[in-house]
Structure 1
Amino acid sequence: MLTKQTQAHISEYFEHEPVEVVFFFGSRASGYPHGESDYDFGVVFSKGLTTKQRSKKRLTYIGELGKILGVEAVDVVDLEKAPAYLRYAAFASRQDIVCKNESVRINFEHKAMSNYFDRLPYMRRHSSLSIASIARHGLS
């Protein structure tokens, strides 16, 4: 979990950045970190950025958040480009850090939930088949 002071510092950093929403999520956000836990942040970028600009910004954010937190183990996920399960996980176990536009946040959550639950039967089936195959043939 992040302290209120750290949340405020991060929020201040993103004040003039081209993001609409920033979530802190994952094991640290839920209060159950383990030895390999990093600090996971998800961002919903403002409209109009190219894929290249988004990628550069994401890398910049990793470095800047690392400086703010005083750690190297930081990940920043472009939530609109992330797989369905990661988008869902990001908002299901999150701490809201920045929300410049409530309708963008609500729309993102709605689409993420809808997409996740639409794909859930297929993800479960794929997992089940993969586990059965590994049980029969091993990992090689």
Structure 2
Amino acid sequence: MRNSQHGRDGEWLYGQGGVGSSAPRVGPYGRTRALMGTATIQVRVLAVAGTRVWVAASGTLCVPTLRTMHYSLCARIVDERTQFYLDLNQVRREDALSPAELPRLLPAGGRLRFHIVGAEPATAAALKTDPRCRAYPDVASAWENWSRQP
């Protein structure tokens, strides 16, 4: 069962729940709070310019939230040439989620491009196995690349 709630400024809060669990809650300043061990992921669109979309995520990446985040990215595809700048600085990968499963995060599409920003080393390495991905160690280097494009 997927619970979602629309937050402020275009952010979407996602949680994975079942019997005895609660939906994510929006706390002060739009932060999410996990109740009763529910893993949550928060996905926000920070900028859009043509076919470029800058998406920041925070929370826990596990099997259920990986699927949820995948669908969130699918919903934000502008056209077949969309470039996602995916800021993962505030995302923690759950140990139970194998790095081999991480490429499932990315939507299908040979012309889509993914700029992975600030991911944990194991996460960045797993995603870079996809030739559509390029990794940046920090926001500044990714923003420099974003700014050079027309």
TM-score of the pair, normalised by structure 1: 0.29
Pick 1 or 2: higher relative contact order, CA cutoff 8 A, min separation 6: 1
Higher strand share: 2
TM-score of the pair, normalised by structure 2: 0.28
Q: Which has the larger radius of gyration?
A: 1
